[in-house]
Amino acid sequence: MKSNILVVLASPRKKGNSAALAAKVVKGAEAVGAVSETVYLNSLGIKPCQGCEKCQKPSANGCIIDDKMQSLYPKLAKADAIILASPIYWFNFSAQAKIFIDRLYAVGCGEKNIFKGKNMAVILTFADPDPFVSGAVNALRSFQDTCRYLQANLEGMVYGCADKAGEIKENKDVMEQGFLLGKHLAALTKN
C-alpha cells in the first residue's frame, strides 16, 4: 500500500525556504513509493475561525464557513501523513498556518476527530540562526500541543535557518533531514 502524504504550505512565497524544504521531504517520501499532494494555503483565501461553535453541534458536518477549507477537510481525512510547512514570522507560525490550525477544530474534536492516530510532521524555516531568538521554539511547542490535542502522532520536526528565498537549499544537513523525514513518513504506512 502506498502512503498518501499531504503537504500544507503556509508561506505566502511559493518558492520560499519552507516550500523548498517541503519539496525535499516529498522527494524522500516518493523515493520509497509514496504519493503526495501539496496545497498552497495563501492562494485559498481561508477565513479565520469565528468561534461560533456550530461545528461542535451533533448534527454539524465540519465548519459552517463556506470557503476553500471545505475542500481540504477530505484531503486531511484521506492522508496517511500531514506535513505543515511554515516560515517563522514574528516569533511563531505564519498567519496562514495559524488560520489553518484554528480551522482544524471543526474536524478535530471528540467523535468527529479525523486526526486520531494520524501521522504529522512540521517543517519550519526562520532567519535568525537561533531557534529560541527566532521564535521557532514557540511554533514547535504549538505544533506539539496541537498534535497532542488531536491525538495525532508527531513523527518529525525539521527546521533550519535561511533568510533569502531558496537559501535553505544550501543547508545540506537540513535538506538531508527533510529527505529522511519523507522516507520515514512513507514507511510508517507500509508497516
Tell whether the model's pLDDT for residue 137 goes beyond 70. Answer: yes
Cross-strand partners of 154? 120
pLDDT range class, residue 59, cuts 50, 70, 90: confident
Model confidence pLDDT, tens digit, residues 164-181: 988 999 999 999 999 999
> Buried b vs exposed e over 102-114: b needs ≥16 C-beta within 10 Å?
bbbbbbbeeeebb
Distance between CA atoms of 4 and 107, rounded to whole angstroms? 19
Q: With beta carbons less than 8 A apart as the criterion, state whether 178 and 123 touch.
A: yes
116: three-class secondary structure by DSSP: coil
Q: How is domain 4-190 classified at the CATH fold level? A: Rossmann fold (3.40.50)
pLDDT of residue 43: 96
pLDDT range class, residue 75, cuts 50, 70, 90: very high
Residue carrying C-alpha cell 533568510: 163
pLDDT of residue 168: 95
Q: Domain segments of the chain: what residues?
A: 4-190
Q: Which amino acid is at 40?
A: Y
Distance between CA atoms of 118 and 99, rounded to whole angstroms? 20
Q: With beta carbons less than 8 A apart as the criterion, state whether 39 and 189 touch.
A: no
Distance between CA atoms of 120 and 84, rounded to whole angstroms? 8
Other CB atoms within a 10 A radius of the CB of residue 154 amount to 17
**Cα 67 to Cα 45, 74, 101, distances in angstroms:** 8, 14, 15
Q: With beta carbons less than 8 A apart as the criterion, state whether 15 and 165 touch.
A: yes
- pTM of this structure: 0.95
